[in-house]
């Protein structure tokens, strides 16, 4: 990975790969505190570009797929919970769940501001609760059937 990444007029100091790993100037960020701090600062501008701002200006973040990755899914009662790569947990919005043509699952997270890609282990756990209906899948909770959309 090149140290200076530039697309159009935007220069990227940070990069997030599709598994949620962060890189700064081409070097993987392995320090847990720094990794979590960057995730906490992550935001998106009005043009949909990701950035972090420590108070001295925006540093843009190039994202390979999504900035957040669902590492784990578990069920508590009628709710499904997500554990994200930034170590936060939240309730899965089943209405936002969708599958790509390549069968990669995504959901909205962080108050629907961001997309998250489900990791394979998270997908496998969630699909234990899914029922196949033709070429679609659905999950029922609380008497409501949620169809997993194909996009």
Q: Pairing state of beta strands 50-53 and 144-150?
A: unpaired
Place of tokens 């599709």: 18
Q: What pLDDT score does 5 carry?
A: 55
Number of domains in the chain: 2
State the pLDDT at residue 135: 82
> Which of 63, 94, 109 marks a domain boundary?
63
Grouping H, G, I as helix, E, B as strand and the rest as coil, residue 54 is coil
Structure tokens at 88: 């936060």
Tell me the torsion sign for CA atoms 80, 150, 111, 28: positive
Segments forming the whole domain that contains residue 98: 68-150
What pTM value is reported for the model? 0.87
More confident residue, 18 or 11: 18
Angle subtended at Cα 26 by Cα 25 and Cα 31, rounded to the nearest 5 degrees:
85
The band of 133, judged by pLDDT with boundaries at 50, 70 and 90, is confident
- Residue among 136, 148, 134 at smallest CA distance from 97: 148
Looking at the predicted structure, is the pLDDT value of residue 3 above 50? no
> Within this chain, do residues 91 and 128 fall inside the same structural domain, yes or no?
yes
pLDDT score of 20 more than 80: yes
């Amino acid at each position: 990975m090149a140290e200076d990444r530039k697309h159009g007029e935007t220069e990227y100091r940070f990069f997030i790969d599709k598994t949620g790993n962060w890189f700064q100037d081409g070097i993987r960020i392995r320090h847990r505190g720094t990794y979590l701090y960057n995730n906490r600062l992550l935001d998106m501008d009005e043009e949909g570009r990701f950035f972090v701002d420590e108070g001295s200006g925006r540093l843009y973040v190039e994202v390979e797929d999504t900035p957040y990755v669902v590492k784990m899914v578990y069920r508590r009662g009628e709710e499904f919970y997500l554990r994200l790569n930034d170590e936060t947990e939240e309730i899965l919005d089943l209405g936002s769940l969708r599958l790509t043509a390549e069968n990669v699952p995504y959901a909205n997270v962080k108050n629907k501001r961001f997309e998250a890609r489900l990791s394979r282990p998270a997908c496998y756990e969630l699909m234990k609760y899914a029922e196949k209906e033709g070429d679609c899948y659905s999950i029922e909770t609380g008497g409501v059937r949620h169809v997993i959309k194909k996009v």
